[in-house]
C-alpha cells in the first residue's frame, strides 16, 4: 500500500466508473492503491444530494457502499421520494481543490461563516473600532483570535485591508532640520517641576496615580483644540474642546473639574499630573492650587523637551483620536457635544490591557459610579 496522497481527477473518474459498474469498494481501492476506508470517505464527503418533493429522508441503502444512487434500479422511479445522491468526479475534484486552497491559506471555516466574519470586521473598522474590540463584542459570531483576524487581513482574505487599520502602515521617519521651542519657555521657571523631580516624587510615593495631559494638535487655521487628560493605569480619558486655548482656560478646566467632584475627591483622584512644555500648561500655581480652599490640590511636572516618550500613554491616546480627527483636517466644525460623544466611545471600548473590561468599568470598579457620573 503506497503512502496517502490527494486523489487526482483521473483517480476520481476511476471511482465513479467503478461505482457505475457496481464494483466493491475493496476492488476500487486495490486498483488505485488506497485503503478502502479512504475511498468510502471520498465518496461520502463529495457526493451531491438531490431532494425530490418534501421528503428529505435518506434511503437505508445510501448509508452503506456505494453511498449513492448510481446503479440503483429505482433511481428513475417517480415513486421514490428519498434523497438522491450522485458522485461526479469533476465536481468532486473542484470541491477538493477549493478546500485545499482554503486549508493552505489557513481559513478553516465555511463560506457563509467567513462572509459573516468579513462583514463584522468591516462594519467594526468603519465605526472606528479596534480588531480586539470587534472580536470581544462579537465573540459569539467570531470564533477566531485577534491574531488570526490580523493574519486574514494581512494576507488579503478580508474586504478590510491593512491600509484600513490605524498605524498598520509605517512611514519614513520625518526629517527635522531644526528643533522647535516655544519662545515663552525661555522665561519660565520650572524648578521643582522637572521630569527628574517627577521621578524622585513617584519614587517616594510608589503606586500613586499619575495623569498625563496634552493637546491634540491642529492645523494652523483652526481656532479650536482638543485637550486630552488620561489616567494610564485605567486607560481612562477625559476630553474637552477649547476655543483659542490659553493658560487661563486650562486652569479653568481644572477648577471646573474640582467644583464638579469636590476638593477631597479631586485630591484623591488627581494627585499628580505629567505634561509637556506647552505654554498653555505653565500656570503652575493656577493648576496646582485650589480656588476653593487655597491649598495645594495636585502636583504638576513637565517632561523634557523633545522627549514625548516620557508620557507615552497620552501620546497613544492622541494617535487613537486621529481616527476621529485625521491630521490635516479641521476640527473647528466639532462641538463640545461631539467631543463628549467621542469621549464616551473611547471609554466604552473593551481593552485587552484591562482584561476585556472597558475603561469606564475599570474606573467604576476602582473608584465608584457616583464619581464617574460627576465627571461626565
61 within domain boundaries: yes
Q: What pLDDT was estimated at residue 313?
A: 74
Q: What is the per-residue pLDDT for 58? A: 74
- pLDDT for 171: 46
Q: Which domain holds residue 283?
A: 192-375
Together in a domain, 253 and 272? yes
- The reply to whether 146 and 206 lie within a common domain is no
pLDDT score, position 2: 47
Give Cα separations from 225 to 152, 231, 325, 332, 358 (angstroms).
37, 20, 11, 8, 26
Average pLDDT over residues 187-206: 92
- Whether residue 113 lies inside any domain: the answer is yes
Most confident of 47-61, 74-88, 293-307: 293-307
171 belongs to a structural domain: no
Would 170 be classed as within a structural domain? no
Domain ends where: 54, 84, 100? 100
- Domain boundary residue among 100, 116, 135? 100
Q: Are residues 278 and 203 in the same domain?
A: yes
Instruction: Show which of 164, 182, 211 is a domain's final residue.
Output: 164
Which segments of the chain does DSSP mark as H helices, in order?
Answer: 9-20, 25-32, 36-46, 89-105, 111-126, 131-137, 146-154, 195-204, 247-261, 263-269, 284-288, 312-321, 336-347, 359-366, 369-375
Domain contains 173: no
Same domain assignment for residues 139 and 92: no
| Pair 246, 207 in one domain | yes
Q: To which residue does cell 497613544 refer?
A: 316
Residues 226 and 370 in one domain: yes
What is the length of the chain? 376
Does residue 154 sit in the same domain as residue 259?
no
When divided into structural domains, the chain yields a total of: 3
The reported pTM is: 0.61
Decide if 200 is inside a domain. Answer: yes
C-alpha cell belonging to residue 163: 491600509
**Residues 201, 347 within the same domain:** yes
Same domain, 218 and 324: yes
Lowest mean pLDDT among 237-246, 302-311, 323-332, 339-348: 302-311
pLDDT digits (tens, 9 = 90+) for 126-179: 888 889 899 989 888 888 888 889 888 888 888 888 888 866 554 455 554 445
Q: Indicate which CATH number applies to the domain containing 357.
A: 3.30.420.10
Question: Are 66 and 128 in the same domain?
Answer: no
294 falls within a domain: yes
Residue 202 lies in a domain: yes
Q: What confidence score (pLDDT) does residue 49 get?
A: 82
Residues 364, 215, single domain; the answer is yes
Q: Are residues 333 and 274 in the same domain?
A: yes
Higher confidence at residue 94 or residue 75?
Answer: 94
pLDDT of residue 101: 58
Q: What is the mean pLDDT of residues 340-348?
A: 93
| Angle of helix 9-20 versus helix 36-46 axis, rounded to 10 | 90
Amino acid at each position: 500500500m503506497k503512502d496517502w496522497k490527494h486523489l487526482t481527477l483521473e483517480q476520481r473518474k476511476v471511482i465513479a466508473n467503478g461505482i457505475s459498474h457496481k464494483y466493491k469498494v475493496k476492488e476500487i481501492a486495490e486498483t488505485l492503491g488506497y485503503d478502502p476506508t479512504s475511498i468510502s470517505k471520498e465518496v461520502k464527503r463529495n457526493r451531491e444530494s438531490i431532494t425530490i418533493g418534501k421528503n428529505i429522508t435518506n434511503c437505508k441503502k445510501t448509508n452503506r457502499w456505494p453511498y449513492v444512487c448510481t446503479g440503483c434500479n429505482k433511481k428513475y422511479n417517480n415513486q421514490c421520494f428519498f434523497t438522491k445522491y450522485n458522485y461526479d468526479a469533476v465536481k468532486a475534484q473542484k470541491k477538493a481543490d477549493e478546500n485545499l486552497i482554503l486549508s493552505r491559506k489557513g481559513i478553516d471555516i465555511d463560506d457563509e461563516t467567513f462572509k459573516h466574519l468579513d462583514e463584522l470586521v468591516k462594519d467594526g473598522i468603519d465605526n472606528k473600532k479596534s480588531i480586539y474590540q470587534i472580536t470581544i463584542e462579537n465573540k459569539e459570531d467570531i470564533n477566531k483570535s485577534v491574531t488570526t483576524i490580523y493574519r486574514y487581513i494581512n494576507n488579503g482574505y478580508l474586504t478590510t485591508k491593512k491600509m484600513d487599520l490605524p498605524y498598520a502602515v509605517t512611514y519614513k521617519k520625518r526629517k527635522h532640520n531644526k528643533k522647535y521651542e516655544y519662545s515663552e519657555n525661555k522665561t519660565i521657571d520650572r524648578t521643582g517641576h522637572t521630569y527628574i523631580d517627577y521621578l524622585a516624587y513617584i519614587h517616594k510615593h510608589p503606586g500613586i496615580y499619575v495623569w498625563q495631559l496634552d493637546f491634540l494638535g491642529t492645523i494652523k487655521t483652526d481656532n479650536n483644540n482638543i485637550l486630552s487628560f488620561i489616567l494610564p493605569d485605567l486607560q481612562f480619558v477625559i476630553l474637552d474642546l477649547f476655543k483659542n486655548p490659553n493658560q487661563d482656560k486650562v486652569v479653568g478646566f481644572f477648577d471646573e473639574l474640582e467644583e464638579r467632584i469636590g476638593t477631597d475627591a479631586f485630591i484623591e483622584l488627581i494627585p499628580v499630573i505629567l505634561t509637556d512644555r506647552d505654554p498653555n500648561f505653565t500656570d503652575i500655581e493656577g493648576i496646582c492650587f485650589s480656588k476653593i480652599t487655597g491649598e495645594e490640590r495636585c502636583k504638576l511636572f513637565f517632561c523634557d523637551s523633545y522627549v514625548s516618550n516620557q508620557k507615552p500613554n497620552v501620546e497613544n491616546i492622541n494617535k487613537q483620536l486621529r481616527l476621529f480627527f485625521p491630521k490635516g483636517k479641521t476640527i473647528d466644525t466639532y462641538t463640545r457635544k461631539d467631543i463628549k460623544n467621542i469621549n464616551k466611545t473611547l471609554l466604552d471600548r473593551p481593552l485587552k490591557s484591562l482584561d476585556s473590561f472597558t475603561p469606564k468599568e475599570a474606573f467604576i470598579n476602582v473608584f465608584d459610579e457616583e464619581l464617574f457620573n460627576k465627571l461626565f
